[in-house]
Every structure is written in C-alpha cells, then in structure tokens.
Amino acid sequence: MAGRNWEDHSHEIKELIGSMKPVHLAELSGNLQDRYDEKYHVPAGIFQALLEGVAGDYRVLDVEGVRDYAYVSTYLDLPGFPMFLAHHNGKKERYKVRFRRYVHSGKVYLEVKHKINKGKTIKKRIVRPAEEEHLSGISVGFLRTWTPFDPLQMRAVLRVSFSRITLAAPGGKERITWDHGLRFSYGGKEVGLPGFGVMEIKHEGRKHNSPMTRLLSRYRIFPAGFSKYCTGILLLYPEVKYNRFKPLLRKLKTERYDVTATAHGGRG
C-alpha cells in the first residue's frame, strides 16, 4: 500500500474491477437522491487493498463496458462566494450548484445539492443540452425553485475533472464512489492532485454498517470531510477565507499527495 499515485496501482485496480459482477445504470437511477453520506481520504494504494477485501460483497457500475468513468463538473457561485463561505463557516444548511458532464456519454445535468441541518443531502437535477455560460429560462426556474439564491447572479467559478469507480451493494441501499485524478481549473489556473483519492459512502439511514465501513475501521480510516468545490476554490482563489480548511491544506502538502500547479494556481 506504499505508493499513492494512481499509476502505481492502476493495473491491479483495473483487474479487480474487471473481475467484479456488474451493475447497470438503470438499476441505480433514482436511488439515494435523498441520503446520508460520509467521505474518506483514500489514496490509490489503500483503495486497492480495500477493494481486494470487499470485491465479493459489491457490484461495480458498468456503462457500456466502462467501469472507470470520467466526469467534468462546472460549479457556480455568486459574487463573494456565499455558497463556499456557508461551508467554510460551518453552516449546517448549505448548497452547491453545478453542471455535471458525463464524458463518455456526453450527457449534462444541472444539479443542486442541498445539505440540510440533520446531516442529510438532497440532490435535485435536470437534463441540459450543455453547460451554460449564461443561464437560460429553464435553468433559472429550476434554481429559483431549489435554491434561495438569485440565479441571474450566479457565474461559473470552477471546473473539476476526475474519474470515478462506483460500487453498489445488493438491494440498492448503499453506494460507494471512489474519485481520483482530480484536476481543478478556471480562468487560466490549474491545480492537480494526482496522488489523492476520495471515497464517499451513500446510504439511507443515519447509522450504517457494511463490509466497506467495517474494513475502513479495521484500517483506522475514519470519515474526513472533503469538498471538491471548496478545495478547488481554496487552491485557485488565494484571496478567499480559508482558516477552517488549514488542516486540509496542510495534509495535501505535508503528506505529499503530489500537488501540481500551473499558471497561477493558489495555495497548492
């Protein structure tokens, strides 16, 4: 488990997910839109070890033969970054707004993620033909319905690209995603975290016990908050408030997750 780079473990991980039973998108669609979730910092070497331990307990998402799926998310915020600051200031109720593009299929969704004060996340989304530089009537109406913000003031502030492996437990009550190859960019700035990985476990009930959570406990890996949006803002916009995220920034630097930056990448 020593190496942290995806390249060090990609062959073994691809072989493992290639040997697992598949689950198809139609079986997952609509599940766990209203859910609880926990995130864990899981580099590639540790993910490989975890996968070896639970491969028989889960199926892997297969979309037309693709099991390691590429995504691009374009996040929106308002002047002054109120959605970022709600997270930074520890507000129990907060929002994220993004366009998400599934690279292999080309499908694009406009999504709202609403974290409510009971720790639950509610996600709403609509299909869009493409990411919009200027929000249209349908998008504006959707955002007015599902956020308290003025969508006419929203603007794109961050683009995040990454790849994802998705595991599903039988019965549809647990889904696990592992994201790797994270790259944050916007306005000529770009920062990458090639050695970093994020696991998210989504489930129905507040209390949760599963083969993966038991194995994580055995490895002494515990939930650790991570937001792609907040991390990207921190790394690309050095002027924003960041006190709450100092431990994360220190971790990314001192644990040598191979932070790379081009142009005017921020605190990486």
Distances (CA, A) of 257 to 54, 172, 216, 249: 25, 33, 20, 11
Torsion sign across C-alpha atoms 11, 225, 71, 210: positive
Mean pLDDT of 198-206: 84
- The token pair at 33 is 């839109």
- Confidence band (pLDDT; 50, 70, 90) for 256? very low
Q: What is the pLDDT of residues 232-246, one digit of tens each?
A: 999 999 899 888 888
- 32, pLDDT greater than 80: no
pLDDT given at position 29: 63
Mean pLDDT comparison of 15-29, 65-79, 106-120, 248-262, highest-scoring range: 65-79
Q: What is the pLDDT of residues 118-171, one digit of tens each?
A: 667 888 999 999 999 889 899 999 999 999 999 999 999 999 999 999 999 987
pTM value is: 0.85
| CATH class for the region spanning 6-262 | mainly beta
